[in-house]
Amino acid sequence: MSKTDTRGMITHVLVSMADWNAQADKHDQLTQEALADVDAGQVIDHQAVLAWADSLGSDQPLTVPR
């Protein structure tokens, strides 16, 4: 393997790792925001979500629960 090939492969790995790290940071941020919503009581009733999901293929789907 030439030096150029090795550098290209290393660059690809480093870019991939940086992308993965950015995604992990974003996922962590979204998780923290979701947990803050739960702590603040901003949740949707589970049974309401199930009823909505069950209605999606029907003639009269329910509106999205809020």
**Higher-pLDDT residue of 7, 30:** 30
Q: Write out the H or E segment, with its range, that includes residue 19.
A: helix 3-39
What pLDDT is recorded for position 34? 96
Query: CA-to-CA distance for 42 and 36, rounded, in angstroms?
Result: 9
pTM value > 0.85? no
19-45 average pLDDT score: 94
Residue 32: pLDDT band by 50, 70, 90 thresholds? Answer: very high
What pLDDT is recorded for position 40? 97
What pLDDT is recorded for position 9? 85
Read off the tokens for 62.
């329910």
Is the confidence at residue 13, as pLDDT, over 70?
yes
